[in-house]
């Protein structure tokens, strides 16, 4: 028991079977799902298990951990968008007013964690301090106060926390969040606003919250009232997550209490997806709750970075967005790291009755834990007397918002996209370019496509259909793209052509798939994996038949995962779209859906290499819009592609395709150049669209080559 409060500290031993989901290795609990839903469900389960099994599994001794820890800390900073760490510029801390009562004084304060990035908060200082006191950084969750369209920040709603700390001898700085401060920034780029370029840029608002907290510690240490060696951090919900971010990043924090702010990947990715529930746990969280998971961590690794400092993990037992199994599984793993230090007593799980609410039981447990580790006090009773709360106007920092604030647009500038200029001398270009290509390819594999299998599984290639009709022959080949992802490739030739002169592989978007099935019609329904007969475009069929017969070509077609036969459900039971929550799940696995589709195209190329009558036949790849970008990236890792035909590819990853971290390395024009020496044809509508590709055109001019040609066509 924690002395002074009626709560239970539960160590992860008594797991309740009724609360736990089916094990990750269990059979599919929803056998009636569609083909696409089963693929998605199985893939997520398999990936989560792979990541979870690896989490901290190689740590056998304290020496193992101490050896790994520095690089893990560096990886963590990188995934938060904080590597290298930003400069610690002048805080320009300003007190705009004070509020006093008989026990403490509140200073209304703002500082700049970076130039123009304002942080608002209230500093609670006990009256008549005789020596430096321990200090608490309280980071708010998502509970703003807005009146008459004026934001007062979340510090109003959470004021009872710093009030208690100040009444009991602590200095406490309570911070507003970026999203819900007096100046309102953005936490919801992918969760609400389809800003998928956040993933391509490797941006997360969690990095801002972490940096704001680290600079807040700088400020606390500058205050004469604060003992700089006795600093604690706590918060709940979004503030619980921010507590993790700050404590994992900064060893100055000597006592850590995240409340209702964490659950493992299984809870976020798997347990909210089936059956027929598409918006489970992850839908309760905005983007500030996640780092960019480049290195494919499960959250116990984040927790372990806090060891061996005193850490109390608080949560309620009926919390629907931080479920019991999700934090218990992690606690079990992190206990082992604390044990390596002989610091078992410094880690505890505080589990109380109730939903996702700021309950007295959680607060009292947190207060007692801070007393124990920052004041060596295990006997003082924890009480919260009735108080009259301060009004929003009393706690407000700004009378007028600063004109130079960057908070509202910080997501556009915090992570700078890479910019690469060509050397001015053509002779320098000829030596510079091969090295740059090699450097970028290595970075793409390490930072962008890390979610690809480390070793390609067997294709398990199977001939699924062979149908002849009106002079055409359609073959279907089933294959394994990666574990849990089985796809089909179609190969269309003229019936009497034994070996084609050329094979063109087209990767389809969903609208391209619909055109494809209407072109082939009901005769090929089974091979196309269709449940009902499609309409038939006779004219397109005849045009294709004439081309294949006269040219002796072969048309190969691939619908990557989630398209065509493997399209998964993207609406919930009420018909609301939750496709964005599916895409967000991929990012939690250290990948993107588009990035894995690049892998699917590569595997489609591998299938064609195994078809006997295509041995030695030149291979072209083509795609339209985002799929043109996906095809392009597949070609970067497939050296024997004869040509790329790219129809209206996006000019920048700001528009698509979405690839994790890619804009930190290069953008679409540089990726286009990386495909050299493949022959490339870009099809555009007008000069404005063509202008986007000046970078690779200038490069090939300096190289004295003619790999890339741009052709104008009608609008697609």
Helix 593-610, helix 579-588: angle, nearest 10: 80
Under 8 Å between Cβ of 158 and 239:
yes
Triad 258, 309, 323: Cα angle to 5°: 30
Helix 626-636, helix 593-610: angle, nearest 10: 60
pLDDT, one tens digit per residue, over 12-22 is: 333 333 334 44
Alpha carbon 713 to its chain's center: 37
Distance CA 262, CA 188 (A): 18
Name the band, by pLDDT with cuts 50, 70 and 90, for residue 353: very high
pLDDT, one tens digit per residue, over 472-524 is: 999 999 999 999 999 999 999 999 999 999 999 999 999 999 999 999 999 99
Encode 479-516 in three state secondary structure. Answer: EEEECCEEEEEEEEEECCCCCCCEEEEEECCHHHHHHH
pLDDT score at 411? 98
Phi, psi of 81 (to 5 degrees): 75, 25
pLDDT, one tens digit per residue, over 667-685 is: 999 999 999 999 999 999 9
Distance CA 340, CA 70 (A): 17
Give the chain's domains with CATH numbers.
8-413 (3.40.50.1820)
Q: What is the CA radius of gyration of the chain?
A: 29
| Cis preceding-peptide flag for 677 (omega within 30 of 0) | yes
Distance CA 636, CA 445 (A): 11
pLDDT score at 173? 99
3-state helix, strand, coil in the chain (%, to 5): 40, 20, 40
Helix ranges restricted to H, 408-537: 410-413, 426-443, 510-520
As a whole number of Å, the end-to-end CA separation of the chain is 68
Name the band, by pLDDT with cuts 50, 70 and 90, for residue 37: very high
Average confidence (pLDDT) over 23-30: 50
pLDDT score at 699? 98
Average confidence (pLDDT) over 45-53: 97
pLDDT(73) > 90: yes
Under 8 Å between Cβ of 123 and 149:
no
Distance CA 133, CA 225 (A): 6
pLDDT score at 482? 98
pLDDT, one tens digit per residue, over 551-604 is: 999 999 999 999 999 999 998 878 888 899 999 999 999 999 999 999 999 999
pLDDT score at 26? 47
454 CB-contact burial (10 Å; exposed 0-12 / middle 13-18 / buried 19+): exposed
Triad 180, 185, 188: Cα angle to 5°: 85
User: Which uninterrupted H or E stretch holds 87?
Assistant: none
User: Which uninterrupted H or E stretch holds 708?
Assistant: strand 708-712
Distance CA 618, CA 603 (A): 17
pLDDT score at 4? 35
**Of 6-15, 80-89, 113-122, 303-312, which gets the smallest average pLDDT?**
6-15
Q: Where are the beta strands (DSSP E) in 212-251?
A: 226-236
Name the band, by pLDDT with cuts 50, 70 and 90, for residue 715: low
Under 8 Å between Cβ of 554 and 492:
yes
Distance CA 484, CA 457 (A): 11
Distance CA 112, CA 89 (A): 8
Average confidence (pLDDT) over 78-82: 98
* b (16+ CB within 10 A) / e for 407-420: beebbeebbebeee
Sign of dihedral through CA atoms 281, 287, 290, 293? Answer: positive
Helix ranges restricted to H, 341-469: 360-375, 392-395, 410-413, 426-443
Phi, psi of 70 (to 5 degrees): -60, -40
Between strands 485-494 and 171-175, the pairing is unpaired
Average pLDDT, the chain: 93
pLDDT(28) > 80: no
Contacts of 73 (CB under 8 A, 6+ apart): 248, 249, 305
Triad 677, 592, 407: Cα angle to 5°: 110
Average confidence (pLDDT) over 245-252: 98
Average confidence (pLDDT) over 67-96: 98
pLDDT score at 10? 38
pLDDT(689) > 50: yes
pLDDT score at 280? 66
pLDDT score at 24? 55
pLDDT, one tens digit per residue, over 437-477 is: 999 999 999 999 999 999 999 999 999 999 999 999 999 99
pLDDT(259) > 70: yes
Encode 631-643 in three state secondary structure. Answer: HHHHHHCCCCCCE
pLDDT(43) > 90: yes
Phi, psi of 438 (to 5 degrees): -65, -40
């Amino acid at each position: 028991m924690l002395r002074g409060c009626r709560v239970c500290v539960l160590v992860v031993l008594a797991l309740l079977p009724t609360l736990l989901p089916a094990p990750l290795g269990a059979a599919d609990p929803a056998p009636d799902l569609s083909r696409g839903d089963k693929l998605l469900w199985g893939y997520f389960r398999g990936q989560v298990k792979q990541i979870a099994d690896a989490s901290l599994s190689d740590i056998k001794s304290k020496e193992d951990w101490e050896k790994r820890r520095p690089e893990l800390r560096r990886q963590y900073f990188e995934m938060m968008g904080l590597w290298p760490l930003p400069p610690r510029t002048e805080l320009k801390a300003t007190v705009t007013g004070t509020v006093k009562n008989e026990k403490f004084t509140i200073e209304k304060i703002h500082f700049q964690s970076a130039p123009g990035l304002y942080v608002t908060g209230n500093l609670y200082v006990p009256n008549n301090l005789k020596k430096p006191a321990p200090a608490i950084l309280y980071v708010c969750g998502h509970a703003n106060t807005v009146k008459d369209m004026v934001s007062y920040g979340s510090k109003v709603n959470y004021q009872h926390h710093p009030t208690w700390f100040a009444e009991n001898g602590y200095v406490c700085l309570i911070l507003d969040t970026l999203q819900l401060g007096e100046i309102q920034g953005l936490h919801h780029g992918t969760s609400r606003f389809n800003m998928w370029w956040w993933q391509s840029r490797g941006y997360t608002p969690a990095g801002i919250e972490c940096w704001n907290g680290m600079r807040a510690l700088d400020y606390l240490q500058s205050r004469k009232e604060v003992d700089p060696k006795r600093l604690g951090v706590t918060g709940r919900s979004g503030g619980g997550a921010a507590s993790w971010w700050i404590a994992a990043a900064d060893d100055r924090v000597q006592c850590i209490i995240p409340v209702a702010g964490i659950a493992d990947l299984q809870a976020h990715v798997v347990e909210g997806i089936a059956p027929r529930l598409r918006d489970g746990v992850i839908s309760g969280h905005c983007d500030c709750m996640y780092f960019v998971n480049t290195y494919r961590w499960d959250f116990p690794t984040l927790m372990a970075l806090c060891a061996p400092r005193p850490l109390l993990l608080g949560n309620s037992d009926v919390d629907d967005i931080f479920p019991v199994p999700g934090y218990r599984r992690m606690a079990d793993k992190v206990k082992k790291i604390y044990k390596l230090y002989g610091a078992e007593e410094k880690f505890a799980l505080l589990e109380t009755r109730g939903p996702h609410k700021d309950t007295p039981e959680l607060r009292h447990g947190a207060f007692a834990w801070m007393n124990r580790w920052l004041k060596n006090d295990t006997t003082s009773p924890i009480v919260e007397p009735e108080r009259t709360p301060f009004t929003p106007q009393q706690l407000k920092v700004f009378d007028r918002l600063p004109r130079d604030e960057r908070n509202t647009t910080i997501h556009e500038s915090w992570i700078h996209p890479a910019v690469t200029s060509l050397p001015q001398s053509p002779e320098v270009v000829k030596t510079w370019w091969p090295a740059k290509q090699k450097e970028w390819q290595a970075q793409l594999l390490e930072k962008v496509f890390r979610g690809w299998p480390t070793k390609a599984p067997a294709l398990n290639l199977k001939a699924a259909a062979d149908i002849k009709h009106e002079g055409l022959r359609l073959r279907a080949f089933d294959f394994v793209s990666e574990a849990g992802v089985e796809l089909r490739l179609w190969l269309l030739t003229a019936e009497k052509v034994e070996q084609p002169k050329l094979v063109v592989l087209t990767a389809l978007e969903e609208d391209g798939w619909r055109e494809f099935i209407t072109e082939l019609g009901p005769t090929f329904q089974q091979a196309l994996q269709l449940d009902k007969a499609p309409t038939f475009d006779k004219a397109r069929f005849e045009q294709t038949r004439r081309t294949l017969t006269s040219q002796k070509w072969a048309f190969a077609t691939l619908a990557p995962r989630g398209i065509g036969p493997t399209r998964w459900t993207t609406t919930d039971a009420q018909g609301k779209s939750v496709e964005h929550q599916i895409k967000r799940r991929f990012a939690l696995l250290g990948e993107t859906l588009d990035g894995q589709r690049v892998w699917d195209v590569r595997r489609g190329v591998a299938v064609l290499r195994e078809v006997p009558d295509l041995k030695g036949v030149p291979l072209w790849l083509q795609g339209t819009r985002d799929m043109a970008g996906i095809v392009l990236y597949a070609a970067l890792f497939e050296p024997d592609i004869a040509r790329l035909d790219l129809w209206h590819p996006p000019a920048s990853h700001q528009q698509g395709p979405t690839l994790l971290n890619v804009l930190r390395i290069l953008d679409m024009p540089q990726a286009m150049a990386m495909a050299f020496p493949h022959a490339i044809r870009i099809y555009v509508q007008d000069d404005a669209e063509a202008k986007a590709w000046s970078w690779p055109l200038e490069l090939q001019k300096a190289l004295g080559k003619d790999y890339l040609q741009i052709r104008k066509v009608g609008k697609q």
